[in-house]
Amino acid sequence: MSIRRIAALFRRVTAEIRRDRPSLGILFIAPILLTGLVSFILRESQAPAIAADIVAPAGAPATLGAALHVALVEGGATVTDISDEAAARADVREGRATLAIILPANPQDGLLVVTRGLDAPGDSAQIGVVQKALQGSVSSITGATVRPVRHETIFGQPTDDPVASLAPAIVGFFAYFFVYVLTGVSFLRERTGGTLERLLATPVTRAEIVTGYTLGFGLFATLQVIVLLLWALGTVHVPAIGPLPAFAIGLGIPAAGSPVLAFLVVLLLAVGAVNLGIFLSTFARTELQVIQFIPLVLAPQFLLSGVIFPVSSLPAVLQPLVGFMPLNYAVDGLRQVFIRGADLGVGALQLDLAVLAGIAVFFGVVASLTIRRDIV
């Protein structure tokens, strides 16, 4: 071992990193930004905005309804008293109310909470608020023993395993993530390897380059999404073989809607990711830097698109950002398809698809504009 040689290596490594400004910046800024964002979301997450319909059927204890009404309003919720359970359920289905609370005819029964069911973490947060109201002021006013609430959803099943709500989000996220990395690195090679310069000296147009890339990587995104969806939706039961016990392959998530629509949602998301990759490769000089954009570009999307933290509970300051997250529309679209069984006639799904298509086109244009950027 030679101290001098080690010192030379040490100097070389530090000099290289020192001159790689983006890497250096991300080394320090990204962890602070991300831990800060996560802490902020955890600490400042607000009570979900609740618009509740309280339904009191004949014979229901009136005091319970009144006390619950007051308690929820004190908590900031909008509360409507309504007599018709079917109307309340329709309100929830159409999004005019976030939940319906149906008081029990028999005081011995717990009350029934009906949510939409498209956003399981968001639903849980709402039910938590109702439970808390019951345990706090309501029980002290009415003196009644609080029964645990029963939960029903308009779409899907409330008792589904947690994977069912998480899976659509995860499918969307991974498709986005891998397509972005693949395209970003590949296009960076095109830029640094001299092939882009050569290509631009041919009659090829920028739009042709972007479209060609979109089709090429779109093909692999398509295959990836098909495999992911098969894995998420399918279950292959393998019978016991000798000492090997029977087991199942696949997540076996029940999907109410058409896998083709789910596929369309993810494909549009992936096309956007291809163009994002081309666009961001402009700002990267090395493959390492493409990877370094992940904490800046993909991590906030993961945090702010309802993958884990329900969008409705995000701190108010962050709420406006949600609308800018492409992943948000894909997660919602997939939940619409998987849980709600939405078809193309459902307005919410139409909106998701339209926004995703718009984002894909927007980044396609931006990406094609950057293609000459480094050739000044």
Residues forming contacts to another protein in the complex (CB under 8 A) are 193-195, 197-205, 375-376
Which residue type, as a one-letter code, is found at position 42?
L
Q: Smallest gap, in angstroms, from Cβ of residue 374 to another protein?
A: 11
Q: Which is nearer to another protein, 62 or 375 (CB)?
A: 375
Q: Smallest gap, in angstroms, from Cβ of residue 177 to another protein?
A: 23
Closest residue by Cα to residue 122 from 293, 294, 314 = 314
Placement of tokens 């666009």 in the chain: 279
Q: Smallest gap, in angstroms, from Cβ of residue 202 to another protein?
A: 5
| Measured distance CA(363)–CA(296) in Å, rounded | 17
Q: Smallest gap, in angstroms, from Cβ of residue 276 to another protein?
A: 23
Q: Smallest gap, in angstroms, from Cβ of residue 186 to another protein?
A: 10
Under DSSP, the state recorded for 98 is S
Q: Which is nearer to another protein, 176 or 217 (CB)?
A: 217
Which residue type, as a one-letter code, is found at position 178?
F
User: 306 by DSSP, 3-state: which?
Assistant: coil
Closest residue by Cα to residue 310 from 118, 146, 140, 180 = 118
Contact call for residues 310 and 231 (beta carbons, < 8 A): no
Q: Which is nearer to another protein, 112 or 199 (CB)?
A: 199
Q: Which is nearer to another protein, 59 or 212 (CB)?
A: 212
Q: Which is nearer to another protein, 128 or 194 (CB)?
A: 194
Sheet holding 99-102, edge to edge: 78-82, 51-55, 99-102, 112-115, 150-153
Kindly report the backbone phi and psi dihedral angles of residue 89, in degrees, each rounded to the nearest multiple of 5, phi listed first: -60, -35
Token representation of residue 223: 């295959």
Q: Smallest gap, in angstroms, from Cβ of residue 189 to another protein?
A: 9
β-partners of residue 131 are: none
